Structure 1
């Protein structure tokens, strides 16, 4: 018991947790082999009291699951528990400012919903929304509607309809008054003591916050630092929207749709407002919201999280995000998001002061007599001649510039840079692990001499070839350099959004194709996989073959640029 003899207690990192094994005969129904829940206390005396109370509730739930039936009190408890969740959802969305027209429209729609549900209650025939609400209320018990007696199902449906009517009353109140206290008309929700029984159910399964914490800590070992930071941020939105204490099993498809729609209301550049909550980052102005593709980017981690909860952990019986999609507008035919540089654009870029002479390290965009051959000089040139990704070039170690049989090359690999250390390396895929021969122009320009000088001057234990490029907030040096390259493009007069560092890869592909090189050789140098089974056999094209392909590249411009003598 980790220092405690109290029953059902476990201490982890000083905090006491409730831990109860689920009886074998109901493990399938419950969906868990044991119940774990933080008691949020470091005090043994308080933990013993909480454990005794919670354990009694858990065993009450076990008994309820065995009989596959609910008492009247338990039905009331489930409905009241769900209504409390509904109240939090309405209150959380109450901060949005609406015009008079929008408010009147919302009041009308809410009144229509209330009238429709009230009519269904009177007739005893319910639509899909009421049935989904009843299922949502029942989900913490791990029972299905088909497990219940007909009278119990009717009670649950009636309670769900009453909860929906009270929710609409609260919503209508908040449209006109954001702070006035809300007093339910329905007596089932007017007595706080009635809501106590659901707490016996709530201890089953993890809360959303606990599940997200487990997911992030489990996946951190297989993610890059950048991926982990991004997932923490986006799943943080999910936690703020539902609340950390929300029972994971109580989240249904309708809830996830609501969260997706909340993401779509985020303001542009809201990621920079680090002190604002998820709700505060939303806006009612459609023109100031993020685009569909950004909505999809933020929503994808949520889909991955729920898939993990279902398939790897068994926390939930069905995936509420499985059929929820973000509709992204199709790109017009012929319009590309990335394109290669033209010959004139390459001349315009590589005749900038950074490559021909600048004033100083702090004033690289101003013409001068200083030719500073460091990362900011070599990285764009390497990108152009090798077609390597920016992240692959920035993370190079000194040992990654090597040579065999007179052929100098770059090694794109994760060797020597595992983990999350400052000199860590990451390759996008297995096909990305490769050797890229250096073009004769790079050697003629003095790249190998630059590397040798860095080796002589390196500090003890230093590995990186370009240590002057610092790491960004996401832990990636490529992020910092990408922003600098964007400024370089602007200073050079290249403002087309389709021109980025990745455009060099497009140029390299074209240069190989124009030289009539086989696609399997091009893929080997660029780091692509054609997906064919044959690619898994042998070692692939030899270094000599790759070197011959690099030497034959049909480049639009040869460096250093000699304006007026551009190679066709």
Structure 2
């Protein structure tokens, strides 16, 4: 799991590097006047290809840096040239659709076509039937998988939250076949389950290139805007709710934190038996199952 602190540090370094490039090198921070800051915002920040939220984050980082320098007497207190700007949301951001689960017809469309990126089909299938996040799936190691009594137990070690660390029980035949195909009993426990995946992005996540390939495939199926890979997780949760699965069992299965003190402090967590019961309940309508089965066999 990538530390949020490291992510913020990287983003801020990039922001300072971009400002330094605009200024032509190192300058005394006191030479960055309000007029110079305004020119940077108008000429560089607002004209960048960044999203409005990224522009606001960068402006906030610059303001915070100047506040830090003022506290250490590098610049006069109260003289922050990055304060007072308003970078509002543009029309596309205001109308951006809220992310949601896939509908059943959309799943049929998504699990069709012929994506060629290595392991993408298998990662998609595991996302649909386990609700695991894309990085949780791509980070799986051989030692994270074991089989017992016709069920695969998949240990999620790398997750974005503490509640996300869990062991999933997978009983459905389609994802079970994916794991059996990928698992190497005699291989090193630390070896990647999806050996062909390579890290990408600034934090070298194994999911980086897979995520790009998924978006390309999704767009090609005409499913843009309101759905993404995480929508597979939303879809599973919605499906389990419609099947009448207890909310606590759903939360344990997908790795959501439970809000009450009893669950946070006194509960020992989900047992493999309860996870197996949830795993056995997972299934989709016939047309979806048929599409997924055909998709994974191509």
* TM-score, shorter chain, exceeding 0.5: yes
* 1:256–1:324 Cα contact (<8 Å) kept: no
CA distance in 2, matches of 1:222, 1:381: 28
Where does residue 296 of structure 2 map in the other structure? none
CA distance in 1, matches of 2:200, 2:148: 35
* 2:251–2:257 Cα contact (<8 Å) kept: yes
- TM-score scaled to structure 2, two decimals? 0.75
Describe how 1:189-208 pairs up with structure 2 within 5 A.
Answer: none
* 2:142–2:189 Cα contact (<8 Å) kept: no
- The partner residue of 2:62 within 297, 302, 321 is 302
Per-residue CA deviation, residues 145-170 of structure 1 (Å, 9 max, x unaligned), is xxxxxxxxxxxxxxxxxxxxxxxxxx
Per the alignment, in what secondary structure is the counterpart of residue 232 of structure 1? helix
1:508 is displaced (CA, Å) by 1.3
Where does residue 547 of structure 1 map in the other structure? 276
- Count residues with an aligned counterpart: 286
Where does residue 46 of structure 2 map in the other structure? 265
Per-residue CA deviation, residues 403-430 of structure 1 (Å, 9 max, x unaligned), is 578753222224xxxxxxxxxxxx3222
> For the structure 1 residues 324 and 535, does the alpha-carbon distance in structure 2 shift closer, same or farther, using more than 3 Å as the test?
farther
Where does residue 183 of structure 2 map in the other structure? 452
- The partner residue of 1:390 within 130, 134, 138 is 134
1:222 is displaced (CA, Å) by 6.9
Per the alignment, in what secondary structure is the counterpart of residue 381 of structure 1? helix
Listed as ranges, the gaps of 5+ residues in structure 2 are 294-298
> Which protein shows a greater Rg?
1
1:229 is displaced (CA, Å) by 4.9
Per the alignment, in what secondary structure is the counterpart of residue 257 of structure 2? coil
Where does residue 178 of structure 1 map in the other structure? none
Where does residue 158 of structure 1 map in the other structure? none
CA distance in 1, matches of 2:195, 2:212: 17
Per-residue CA deviation, residues 429-483 of structure 1 (Å, 9 max, x unaligned), is 2222222222423455x12322334x54x5x686211121222243223221122
CA distance in 2, matches of 1:447, 1:513: 25
> For the structure 1 residues 298 and 387, does the alpha-carbon distance in structure 2 shift closer, same or farther, using more than 3 Å as the test?
farther
> For the structure 1 residues 336 and 539, does the alpha-carbon distance in structure 2 shift closer, same or farther, using more than 3 Å as the test?
farther
- Does residue 559 of the first structure (1) align with residue 289 of the second (2)? yes
Per the alignment, in what secondary structure is the counterpart of residue 517 of structure 1? coil
CA distance in 1, matches of 2:4, 2:79: 23
* 1:386–1:436 Cα contact (<8 Å) kept: yes
- Does residue 402 of the first structure (1) align with residue 146 of the second (2)? yes
CA distance in 2, matches of 1:323, 1:532: 41
What value does the CA root-mean-square deviation take over the aligned residues?
Answer: 3.8
- The partner residue of 2:242 within 510, 514, 534 is 514
- The partner residue of 2:197 within 457, 461, 469 is 469
Where does residue 489 of structure 1 map in the other structure? 218
1:379 is displaced (CA, Å) by 0.4
CA distance in 2, matches of 1:481, 1:521: 29
Where does residue 235 of structure 1 map in the other structure? 16
CA distance in 1, matches of 2:30, 2:156: 44
> For the structure 1 residues 545 and 462, does the alpha-carbon distance in structure 2 shift closer, same or farther, using more than 3 Å as the test?
closer
1:233 is displaced (CA, Å) by 2.5
Where does residue 163 of structure 2 map in the other structure? 431
Per the alignment, in what secondary structure is the counterpart of residue 56 of structure 2? helix
